[in-house]
Structure formats: C-alpha cells, structure tokens
A and B are shown apart, each in its own frame.
Chain A
Amino acid sequence: MTTTSPAIAGDEVPGPAPAPATPVPATALLVRRAAAGDHGAFEHLVRSHERRVLALAWRLLGDRAEAEDAAQEAFLRLYRALGRLDPARPVAPFLDRITVNVCHDLGRRRTRRREVSLEPDPDDSGQDRPAPRDDRADPAADAALAEARRLAARALRELPFKQRAALVLRELHGLTTREVAAALDATETTVRSHICRARLALRDRLAALRSGAGAKPAKETP
C-alpha cells in the first residue's frame, strides 16, 4: 500500500503517491523558480502532480497511451503558462482544467479516428486496464472486483464527456462542486446537473452491462 503524497501549499494530490525523498518546496516558490527557467523546480512541480494528472487523464480517456500523451501535453501547457500563473494560487485546479481540456481534444480526435479506422474497443481486450492490485487472498473475489471495475470503467467512458469529467472530478478526485465548476468552467448548478445525470446514466449502463445487454454501447461522446 502506498502513501498519500503531501499537500503542497493547499494543493491536495489525491491518490497514492510515494513520499518524496527530499522536502518539496512550497508551490509558490516552485512556480517562481520554474518561471525563471529553473527546470529542477519545474520537475518538482511535475512530480507533485503527475499522479493526479495521469489518473485524471486515464479515467477521462480510458486508454493508457492516450492518458500519458494527455498528461505530457497538460504539463507542457503548464510550463508555457508559468509566466502568467499567480504563484500565490494553487496549481492543481489549473492543472485539472488543462487536463480536462486536453482530454476533451484528444477524445474528439480519437472519435474521428475510430470513425475512420473502425478500431476495436481497447477496453474489450483488457490491455488498457490498470494493473490489478495483488493484495487479496481470494482469487474469485479479486476477479469479480476486476470485472466490476472493468464494467464501471467502460460505463464511465460511455458517458458524455462533460458528465464524465464532472463525475470523475467529484467522485474520483474528491473535488467539491465549486472546484469542479472551476475546472470545467461551468456554474455549480450546471455541474450538479452533470453529476446527477451521470450517476443515473452510469447506474443504467452498469445494469445493462451486468445483464449482458452491454453489447450495444451507449452513444460515446468526446
């Protein structure tokens, strides 16, 4: 079991993260140094947020290779925006927003590619599934959990992008409704509507997948 990464000046990095060997300077200082051309400071920033960004991209795209591409692009956009960033403000919400936008763009391009190439759904092959944890003694329960996750990931990916993004940020990343609204550049009312619809749609989709009626996927939107 891994540990949770330390919060840096108000930036909470959810999810498992290894504890850094050296103390990480405050985000404001890192942003100032990175903006001044200190690549080491920028690498600290990347280390502090890479897990969060990659996990968000993975959940939004459902594809490991595309998630890595999206994470790289998000960090590069952060680097190019360093001069405009307010060092006093946390970086994580800005990165969330960038990541969502990058994933949205990648998702749209992927949809167009699939419309042309008719590639099979990578999730059906299971090759893009995250590595299962091996801390369970019961292989049957482990397999059932893995199957439930696979179905959940598939149902999540079939949600419209804005509903998916709102649900992932709210449920998987633990953001408040206000933070989700900031990340999606939407109002809190709109975010509540997205979350509500996403939960109901996910329930319906999961029920259909469990009953074996999931062969016909719901309309996937970028």
Chain B
Amino acid sequence: MSCSDPRRWQPKIALEAGGDLPPEERAAVSAHREACPDCRALARELAADREILASLTAEELRPEALDRVRRAVMVAVQEEGADRAHSGALRGRRLRFALPALAAALFALAIGLALWLPHPVPRSPSLGPAGESPATGGDERAPQPAEAPPAEPRAPSLTETPSLTGTPSLAAGAGPSPDRGTAPTPSDRLAAAGPISEHAPDRAQPSRHEPSPALDAVPTAGEPAIMIQIVSEDPDIVFYWLTDQPQEEPDDATV
C-alpha cells in the first residue's frame, strides 16, 4: 500500500527524522508513519543518511591544516594591526604639525584681510583736499577700472555741502554704472551718491602715489572716531584700526 498523500506526509516525515517537527504535529505524523509502509521506509532511509552525515563530523581535521589557518590568520592580523598603528601614528604626527600651521595661516589671513579691506577713514580738518586725502591701506589694492584722473576737479557745489558721513563716498567708488559701459565722471558718481563729505576721502579717486599716512589720519580729540591699537610682542610692529562712527553722527550735520 503506497502513501495516500506523499506530498503532504514526506516533508513531515523528513522533519520528524531530525526532531524538527512542531510538537503539535508529532502525534499525527507518528500515527501516519506507523500506518504507512512507504513513510516507514522513508523514515528508515532518512535515519541511515543522517548516520552517514553524522560520521562526517567524526572525520579528523588535520592538525597541520589548523596550524596553517591559525598562523596565516595571526600573520594577517599582526600586519593589519601594524598598518593601523602606523596610519594612526602618521595621522597624529600630521595633526601635530597641521594644527599650528592652520592657526598661523588663519592669523595671517585675518591680518591680511584687516589691512586689505576698505574701511572708512576719519575725517580730519587737517587733511588736505579730496585729491590729497590720506589713503588707507585699503587704497593700495588693485586699481579700479573706473578710476578717474586724480587731478580732475570736483564740483564746487559739493565742496560746500559738508557731510560727516563717509559712506556715500564709498558708494560712489563702487565703479561705473553697469548700463553705461564707460567710466563715469566724478560729477556722475557724486550725483549718484548724493551728499558727500567735504573732506571725506574719495575712494573713487585714490591717490595711489601718496604714502599711506595711517597714523596721520588719527582723528583729533573730540571727533567721533575710534582707533584700535594692536600691539604685538615686537615693539616695532603695531597695528592700528581707524574707523568712524557714522551711525552716531547727528543728522543735521548733513545738508
């Protein structure tokens, strides 16, 4: 008599052979196996195969094979550990030199920016006309394409409109109007800029051949200006930062 439903029972017999059958199915499968000669034969074959498989575990692994594996592993591990240590040491050494170098570079960059960036120069009555106004360090930078000749006279009306703010002159020195394509005249720039300080340094007309008397531009007492003095360890090296306080200027000072 053959199994009534081998596709149903054979997988269960196979699981039962290794003790992998869920507990709730064991009784039903055992009862079917007792009643089914095919499934009994299958169970016997599976048990014999499992014995052969189990005998494979009894095969000895050769000690030299284990030694070979262990030696190769430890050699690789030591090489890998040495590589890690070497790369870690290199990284630490690089950091040890890189951090001070980075700090020095940042400091130099900050100093360079401080000297290069344009900043308002305090107005001083002792200063000469606009064309002779003292140039700051920022005026020593690259020439501006829209520069007008320094000798060009300024509009007389503007000389009579004193202003305490130097900001408009900065706007005026921003360069030519993009829609014109030609260098604007000083009067164009001044008209676009609006009121301008009588003695404010005209950045559109930097006097590049004059020295940069930053120290000469130190405002006199009573003027609304700030001077920041940075003293280094070397007494011969002193940085000065001169600036106005345009936001504190009285409005009635501007005409």
Contact = CB atoms under 8 A, between A and B. Distances in A.
Interface of A: 2, 14-16, 37, 39, 42-43, 46-47, 50-51, 54-55, 58-59, 64, 68, 71-72, 75-76, 79-80, 130-133, 145, 148-149, 152-153, 156, 167, 170-173, 177, 192, 195-197, 199-200, 202-203, 206-207
Dominant SS among interface residues on chain B: helix
B56 A46 contact: no
Contact of A171 (B18, B59, B78): B18
Contacts of A42: 74, 77
B20 A177 contact: yes
B243 to A, nearest CB: 55
Contacts of A170: 18, 20
Contacts of A199: 14, 17-18, 46, 49-50
Contact of A39 (B17, B45, B81): B81
Contacts of A75: 69, 73, 77
Contact of A172 (B57, B74, B78): B57
A156 B66 CA distance: 23
Given A39-B74, A76-B76, A203 B49 contact: yes
Contacts, number: 125
Nearest to B66: A50
A220 B61 CA distance: 25
A46 B54 CA distance: 24
Interface of B: 10-11, 14-15, 17-18, 20, 42, 45-46, 49-50, 52-62, 65-66, 68-70, 72-74, 76-78, 80-81
Given A133-B58, A171-B18, A43 B66 contact: no
B65 A79 contact: no
B63 to A, nearest CB: 8
A200 B58 CA distance: 23
User: Main SS of the interface on chain A?
Assistant: helix
Contacts of A149: 52, 55-56, 59
B75 to A, nearest CB: 10
B60 A133 contact: yes
Interface hub of B50, B66, B69, B74 (most chain A Cβ within 10 A): B69
